[in-house]
A and B are shown apart, each in its own frame.
Chain A
Amino acid sequence: MSTGSAAPGEVPAPAGPRVRANPWRRLARAARPRGTRAQVLAGLLCAALGFGVVVQVRQTDSAGLEDLRENDLVRILDDTTERSDRLGEEVQQLQAARDELTAGTDSAEAAARAARARADSYGVLAGTLAAQGPGITATITDPGGAVSAAQLLQTVQELRDAGAEALQIGATRVVASTAFLDSAAAAGGGVVVDGRLEQPPYVVRAVGDPPTMSTAMDIPGGVRETLRQLGAQLAVTTSQDVAITALHAVSAPQYARPASPAPSEQAPPR
Chain B
Amino acid sequence: MIAAVGLVIGILAGVLLHPEVPLFLQPYLPIAVVAALDTVFGGLRAVLDGIFDDKVFVVSFLSNAVVAALIVFLGDQLGVGSQLSTGVVVVLGVRIFSNAAAIRRHLLSA
Q: Which residues of A contact B (CB under 8 A)?
A: 1-8, 11-13, 15, 19-20, 23-24, 26-27, 30-34, 36-56, 58-60, 66-67, 69, 71-72
Contacts and interface: CB of A to CB of B under 8 A. Distances in A.
Contacts of B3: 31, 39, 42-43, 45-46
B15 A40 contact: no
Contacts of A46: 3-4, 6-7, 10, 40
Contacts of B106: 15, 19-20, 23
Contacts of B46: 2-4, 6
Contact of B10 (A23, A39, A48): A48
Contacts of A8: 94-95, 98-99
B21 interface: yes
B37 A11 contact: no
**Taking chain B's interface residues, is the majority helix, strand, or loop, or is none over half, making it mixed?**
helix
Nearest to B31: A56
Given A45-B58, A56-B29, A6 B42 contact: yes
A41 B58 contact: yes
A4 B6 CA distance: 18
A47 B7 contact: yes
Contacts of A69: 27, 76, 81-82
B57 A19 contact: no
B49 A30 contact: no
A37 B99 CA distance: 24
